[in-house]
Amino acid sequence: MALAAELFPIPRSITGPGARETLEVVRRRIPLDVVEVPSGSPALDWTVPAEWSVREAWLEAPDGTRLADYAENPLQLLGYSVSYDGVVSRDELLEHVFTLEDRPHAVPYRTAYYTERWGFCLAYDVVRDLPDGDYRVHIDTTHHTSGSLSYGELVVPGRSDDEVLVSTHICHPLQANDNVSGIVAATALAQHVLSAPRELTYRFVFVPGTIGSIVWLSRHRDAADRVRAGMVLTALGDPARFVYKQSRRGGRWIDEVVPAALAAAGVEHEVRAFDPYGYDERQYCSPGFDLPVGRLSRSTHAEYPEYHTSLDDLSFIDGASLAASVGVLEGVVDLLEHDRCWRSTSPYGEPQLGRRGLYRQIGATIDAKARELALLWVLSGADGSTPLREVAQRSGLEFAALRDAASLLHEHGLLADPALPPA
């Protein structure tokens, strides 16, 4: 929550000082590389936009009351608004104002990245009773064509080149669940991954939504080819049940691993099939790349009334929910690290465990019997193509028990050739 509180007020956008400051805050926790990509650079079918910065933006009613001020609340300025300075009538103003009639206290979060327009976002309560008269508009922004788009990347090398991709967006201003919580969860997960040697290579990317993942993909076709599993993280700070959205084709390794980790954590969750609406999974799963990348969230975009409004503030998220989300993600990493297809070196009949000191002694404890059962399950699944996770599911035993049994059998030479399940 301390990191969330630090990130929350930063006036983020897809480019500019807010995105850069966000990456800087994250970089104080994990050794992130910050990459700048010049505005105008081509990226797949897109072009990196001009960098946006705001000097000042405010709106005054005919009586001089300030109705909006970027310095007070950056959410009140339409994201990427062009400059405008002048006096407009009430009717003219209303063509440039966004409100939510059904949530009259809330300020909506709106952007106009790829069109040239000016605008403000206001609570409907403020707009409803505005009198006729002269409204003073002052918006002083710059679209720097010689600017850049910033993204952050951290690669944690493992023993294998096979990669796990973790992606989160960094572009929403003053949005706690749909943005800050994802950045916090990805940062905490990176700290966990950094805390021990790893089998797989982990790549964390902190990118502005859509254009950021498109830019990353356009420059990392080689790394994309090595991705065996991936997750987009967002909206992980509220107490709602978890929602895992499968990768485009479903049935891939990550699509098995995340639900298994959610079940192991004993948390309420729902698994949904892919649809082409949402966050950066749309880009990673586009048919050319076809990466095995799913998405983990709690409250899902556009399905909760606080979504993309001033109501998605720090009071909407809590430390216990964030911590539980990070716990699930650590469980995902444990599965990715240890879910392997093992091959028995003695597959014809059961190997003689007693001879190796692995079989029950007289008066064995319950623990010893459970351990022995785990050994038998692992051996019976060691056909070279059954993932250990699947053996855990069939046996009803905890994955950790099978993971430990597999490592014991491996030490005794009874298991060989641990292979990644097909991605």
Interface ranges with Zn ion (CB under 5 A): 178
- CB nearer to Zn ion: give 216 or 342: 216
- CB nearer to Zn ion: give 175 or 187: 175
Write down the least CB distance from residue 179 to Zn ion, Å: 7
Q: How far is CA 82 from the centre of its chain?
A: 30
Burial of 285 (0-12, 13-18, 19+ CB in 10 A): buried
- CB nearer to Zn ion: give 149 or 401: 149
Helices 319-338 and 399-411 cross at an angle (nearest 10°) of: 30
Helices 399-411 and 366-381 cross at an angle (nearest 10°) of: 70
Task: Locate 44 and state its tokens.
Answer: 């797949």
CA distances from 232 to 92, 243, 274, 279 (A): 40, 12, 13, 8
- CB nearer to Zn ion: give 163 or 306: 306
Write down the least CB distance from residue 153 to Zn ion, Å: 21
Write down the least CB distance from residue 212 to Zn ion, Å: 13
Residue 308 near residue 109 (C-beta atoms within 8 A): yes
Nearest position to Zn ion, beta carbon: 178
Task: Locate 104 and state its tokens.
Answer: 């009259």
- CB nearer to Zn ion: give 219 or 301: 301
- CB nearer to Zn ion: give 178 or 281: 178
Write down the least CB distance from residue 161 to Zn ion, Å: 33
Q: Do strands 341-344 and 227-233 pair parallel, antiparallel, or not at all (unpaired)?
A: unpaired
- CB nearer to Zn ion: give 158 or 278: 278
Write down the least CB distance from residue 176 to Zn ion, Å: 12
Write down the least CB distance from residue 8 to Zn ion, Å: 15
Report how far residue 57's alpha carbon sits from residue 75's, in angstroms, rounded to the nearest whole number: 11
List CB contacts of 43: < 8 A, sequence separation 6 or more. Answer: 37, 211, 214, 215, 218, 219
Report how far residue 218's alpha carbon sits from residue 149's, in angstroms, rounded to the nearest whole number: 14
Write down the least CB distance from residue 71 to Zn ion, Å: 23
Torsion of CA 271, 274, 279, 283, to 10 degrees: 140
Write down the least CB distance from residue 5 to Zn ion, Å: 20
- CB nearer to Zn ion: give 181 or 246: 181
Report how far residue 68's alpha carbon sits from residue 65's, in angstroms, rounded to the nearest whole number: 9
